[in-house]
């Protein structure tokens, strides 16, 4: 790949700090519009808490709907951070460098958003603070740690804390950089945040070691977070379509599929919006799409297993559920869209290098994947509850209300809003990583061809 250009430090600084040192023209209007949507969403949430969950479309058998789907979706998106910052860091994949921060950021903000949903989804959210948040020692009754709803916040908080620390540690050198280039209150802010970063060898060493340690510590979270989210469903023995032993790995691999796709979407946007063509190059899209083909195909295998398990045991209720999920209106329409968008359209396209290096195509296919992955969660959660139970008392479908859709849209606006706000004060592409890779990369001659290679000093 010959897309790399020799970039001097002044150019790198000027380009990558263009969000902080001068504001792009589109920034203020976009943030204002998003701010209005965020505000509207918050008002709707307040109304819902005030009036009660009667304003949603939930009913008797379908007690969980759009909110839990969106919760699982955002937790899934958050897997991007760990995939790129921890796993690619430990495997020393050099191409990860320009996207690490954006991926971590997406993780932190999507987790913050995901955590909102179980809270507002409860009948009495204020009681959650009362019964769970102060660990209930004084009353002699602990929260029920057998419940996945207790394991969920534990896993997600661990992930959130780990990711935030990771993000902050990686931000330190850039904060020092910004401190030296700003004046006034901004300078004061960066001075405090930079924690006295001088860039001396000892600080660099601690920063690197800290990053590697955090990567290693976060690896178990890679497995745990979405496994635990999947147990929300998998332990319900009496719900066909939920009660499945493959849910943990199935959810994890699905999360990587949707999370890494979200990073692709974001990379395309960053490239277009801040004109970072020199930093986020087609080769990066290529490098992300290759493992995605493998991940997506592995995920497809799990999907196939999940849908066909019932046939082995000839379990009549589960076969009936699968029939409903795949062949009955309106689930069949959703199922077709889900299958096309999550796998059948994007993944075969990614097999071609021309697609993998085409930014616009990668942008749209990665969006398709996330539409499909959202539908996947919806198709697991809602038909499982709306299924025909043994007793005819309640066979109900589910139609999300306008309130639920508003809060669903709010979650997207909220994540984007936070990202853009962050971009005003902190660089989205880590400068020091960029410069480090610049140093590590050199052209080597192989025969007559000049190719870029990673050059490291021997230990």
Partner 1 sequence: MTTAAFGTHNWGMVVDVDKCIGCNACVVACQAENNIPINTQDRVERARSIAWIRVERYWIGDFPDAKAQFIPIMCQHCENAPCEPVCPVYATYHDAEGMNIQVYNRCVGTRYCANGCPYIVRFFNYWEPVWPESLRNHLNPDVTVRSRGIMEKCSFCVHRIRRVARGARSAGVEIADGAIQTACSSACPTSALNFGNFNDPNSKVSKMRDDKRHYTLLDQFGTDPNVIYLAKIDANKKVGAGEASSHG
Q: Which residues bind partner 1 (CB under 8 A)?
A: 52-54, 58-61, 63-64, 118, 121-125, 127-128, 131-132, 141, 143-144, 146-150, 232, 235-239, 242, 385, 389-394, 396
Measured from the CB atom, the residue of 130 and 304 that comes closer to partner 1 is: 130
**Least distance CB 51 / partner 1 (angstroms):** 8
**Least distance CB 43 / partner 1 (angstroms):** 20
For the record, the structure tokens of 78 come out as 């958050």
Measured from the CB atom, the residue of 55 and 217 that comes closer to partner 1 is: 55
Measured from the CB atom, the residue of 237 and 360 that comes closer to partner 1 is: 237
**Least distance CB 55 / partner 1 (angstroms):** 9
Measured from the CB atom, the residue of 183 and 238 that comes closer to partner 1 is: 238
Measured from the CB atom, the residue of 54 and 201 that comes closer to partner 1 is: 54
**Least distance CB 238 / partner 1 (angstroms):** 4
CA angle, residues 404, 368, 271, in degrees to nearest 5: 105
**Least distance CB 131 / partner 1 (angstroms):** 5
**Least distance CB 52 / partner 1 (angstroms):** 4
Residue 117: partners with Cβ closer than 8 Å, 6 or more residues away: 67, 68, 70, 71, 74, 411
Measured from the CB atom, the residue of 49 and 189 that comes closer to partner 1 is: 49
Measured from the CB atom, the residue of 384 and 427 that comes closer to partner 1 is: 384
Measured from the CB atom, the residue of 54 and 330 that comes closer to partner 1 is: 54
The 3-state secondary structure of the chain, one letter per residue: CCCCCCCCHHHHHHHHCHHHHCCCCCHHHHHHHHHHHHHHHHHHHHHHHHHCHHHCCCCCCCCCCHHHHHHHHHHHHCHHHHHHHHHHHHCCCHHHHHHHHHHHHHHHHHHHHHHHHHHHHCCCHHHHHHHCCCCCCCCCCCCCCCCHHHHHHHHHHHHHHHHHHHHHHHHHHHHHHHHCCCCHHHHHHHHHHCCCCCCCHHHHHHHHHHHHHHHHHHHHHHHHHHHHHHHHHHCCCCCCCCCCCCHHHHHHHHHHHHHHHHHHHHHHHHHHHCCCCCCCCHHHHHHHHHHHHHHHHHHHHHHHHHHHHHHHHCCHHHHHHHHHHHHCCCHHHHHHHHHHHHHHCHHHHHCCHHHHCCHHHHHHHHHHHHHHHHHHHHHHHHHHHHCCCCCCCCCCCCCCCHHHHHHHHHHHHHHHHHHHHHHHHCCCCCHHHHHHHHHHEEEEEECCEEEEEECCCCC
**Least distance CB 164 / partner 1 (angstroms):** 24
Nearest to 67 by CA among 56, 76, 78, 54: 56
Measured from the CB atom, the residue of 137 and 360 that comes closer to partner 1 is: 137
**Least distance CB 134 / partner 1 (angstroms):** 13
Measured from the CB atom, the residue of 15 and 121 that comes closer to partner 1 is: 121
**Least distance CB 367 / partner 1 (angstroms):** 31
**Least distance CB 71 / partner 1 (angstroms):** 12
* Burial (CB count <10 Å: 0-12, 13-18, 19+), residue 101: buried
32 and 40 Cβ atoms separated by less than 8 Å: no
Listed in sequence order, the DSSP H helices in 357-401 are: 359-386
**Least distance CB 203 / partner 1 (angstroms):** 43
Measured from the CB atom, the residue of 236 and 340 that comes closer to partner 1 is: 236
């Amino acid at each position: 790949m010959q897309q790399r250009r020799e970039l001097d430090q002044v150019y790198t600084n000027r380009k990558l700090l263009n969000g902080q040192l001068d504001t792009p023209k589109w920034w203020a209007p976009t943030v204002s519009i998003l701010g209005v949507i965020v505000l509207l969403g918050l008002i709707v949430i307040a109304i819902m808490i005030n009036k009660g969950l009667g304003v949603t479309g939930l009913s008797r058998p379908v007690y969980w709907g759009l909110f839990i789907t969106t919760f699982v979706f955002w937790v899934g998106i958050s897997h991007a951070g760990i995939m790129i910052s921890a796993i690619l860091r430990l495997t020393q994949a050099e191409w990860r460098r320009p996207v690490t921060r954006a991926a971590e950021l997406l993780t932190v903000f999507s987790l913050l958003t995901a955590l909102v949903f179980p809270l507002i989804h409860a009948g009495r959210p204020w009681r959650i603070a009362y019964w769970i948040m102060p660990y209930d020692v004084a009353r002699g009754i602990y929260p029920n740690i057998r419940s996945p709803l207790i394991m969920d916040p534990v896993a997600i908080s661990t992930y959130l804390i780990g990711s935030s620390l990771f993000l902050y540690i990686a931000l330190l050198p850039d904060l020092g950089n910004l401190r030296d280039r700003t004046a006034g209150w901004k300078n004061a802010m960066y001075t405090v945040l930079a924690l006295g970063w001088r860039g001396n060898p000892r600080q660099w060493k601690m920063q690197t070691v800290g990053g590697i340690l955090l990567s290693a510590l976060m690896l178990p979270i890679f497995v745990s977070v979405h496994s635990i989210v999947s147990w929300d469903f998998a332990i319900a023995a009496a719900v066909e379509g939920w009660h499945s032993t493959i849910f943990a790995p199935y959810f994890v691999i699905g999360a990587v599929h949707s999370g890494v796709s979200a990073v692709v979407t974001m990379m395309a946007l960053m490239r277009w919006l801040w004109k970072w063509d020199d930093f986020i190059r087609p080769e990066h899209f290529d490098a992300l799409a290759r493992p995605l083909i493998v991940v997506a195909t592995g995920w497809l295998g799990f999907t196939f297993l999940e849908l066909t398990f019932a046939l082995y045991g000839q379990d009549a209720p589960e076969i009936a559920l699968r029939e409903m999920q795949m062949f009955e209106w309106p689930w069949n329409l959703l199922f077709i869209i889900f299958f096309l968008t999550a796998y059948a359209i994007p993944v075969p396209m990614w097999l071609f290098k021309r697609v993998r290096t085409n930014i616009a195509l990668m942008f749209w296919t990665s969006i398709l994947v996330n539409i499909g992955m959202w539908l996947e969660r919806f198709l697991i959660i809602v038909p499982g509850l709306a299924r025909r139970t043994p007793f005819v008392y309640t066979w109900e479908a589910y139609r999300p209300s306008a309130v639920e859709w508003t809060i669903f849209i709010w979650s997207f606006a909220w994540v984007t809003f936070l990202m853009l706000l962050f971009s005003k004060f902190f660089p989205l592409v880590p400068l020091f990583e960029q410069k480090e890779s610049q140093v590590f990369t050199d052209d080597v001659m192989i025969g007559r061809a000049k190719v870029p290679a990673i050059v490291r000093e021997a230990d």
